[in-house]
Amino acid sequence: MHIFGPYGRYPLSPGRGYTPPEASIAMYREMLSTIGLTRTVVVQPSIYGTDNAVSLDAVATLGADRARAVVVVDDSFDVPALRAMGERGACGVRFNAVSGNGTPLEQLEALGEKLGVLGWHLQLYTHAEEMVALEHVLARLPCPVVIDHMGGVKAAEGGTESAGFKAMIRLLERGAWAKLCGYRSSAAGAPYADVAAMARAMIAAAPERCVWGTDWPHPSCTARRRCRMTACCWTRSERGRRGTTSARRSWPTTRRGFTASELLPPARRQA
């Protein structure tokens, strides 16, 4: 999930690629109470660049016992600076090559070395064709890799048969993690049946390392579709949960104090 604003307190980056409406912690908590989730990973949005104040402050507000942050940095951040953010709840770094205003992909290896020292993970949001080009770089990084938004693969642009999807599957088989977030990959829209084959193939490749999140507040959606996405977040995750253990796993945040069962809503936790 992402927090946007309040903009009077957290000014937007001049280099941002879009300007979304504000999405506050109070609004997020209302959504959490609706679908029954209790744990949160706050992902730094591209509209703030490398100024991670909004995301780290969100962790403090939500509570270190229930939230962690994935931050955005560049190679000017040294290990002590990253450790300082770790003390505030950061446990990973995101590269965003899709939305603009992100860290250059040329810095993947240099930052990956620092993350390996810290035991953090690297989260990558990229276009499907870039997944092919980066496959060998990602495979040799000394830190866990989390592939964002189903590898950027589009159902209408080859889906499971595309080169980008096959590269992602190979990375999953070698130990990478991936996030199942079907609405961005779908051309058909709700209920997103056109991405089902992709999700099944990903789960088959790495059933313990495919994870789900809300992507709240769905910044790539229109206002009307955003409301529909929030309403169906939990029902879609439940559908996937019935056929796999993957949704019961936390991604690399497990090592930061999140247990697998705590990531489930109270009604779905197992003893």
Question: Which residues are part of the catalytic machinery?
Answer: 215
**CB of 93 within 8 A of CB of 71?**
yes
Q: How crowded is residue 29: how many other Cβ atoms within 10 Å of its Cβ?
A: 13
**Residue 172 to residue 31: CA distance in whole angstroms:** 31
State the SS3 of the chain: CCCECCCCCCCCCCCCCCCCCCECHHHHHHHHHHHCCCCEEEECCHHHCCCCHHHHHHHHHHCCCCEEEEECCCCCCCHHHHHHHHCCCEEEEEEECCCCCCCCHHHHHHHHHHHHHHCCEEEEECCHHHHHHHHHHHHCCCCCEEECHHHHCCHHHCHHHCHHHHHHHHHHHCCCEEEECHHHCCCCCCCCHHHHHHHHHHHHHCCCCEEECCCCCCCCCCHHHHHHHHHHHHHHHHHHHCCCCHHHCCCHHHHHCCCCHHHCCHHHCCC
Say if residues 145 and 124 touch (Cβ distance below 8 Å).
yes
Cross-strand partners of 68: 41
Cα three-residue angle 110-114-119, rounded to 5 degrees: 140
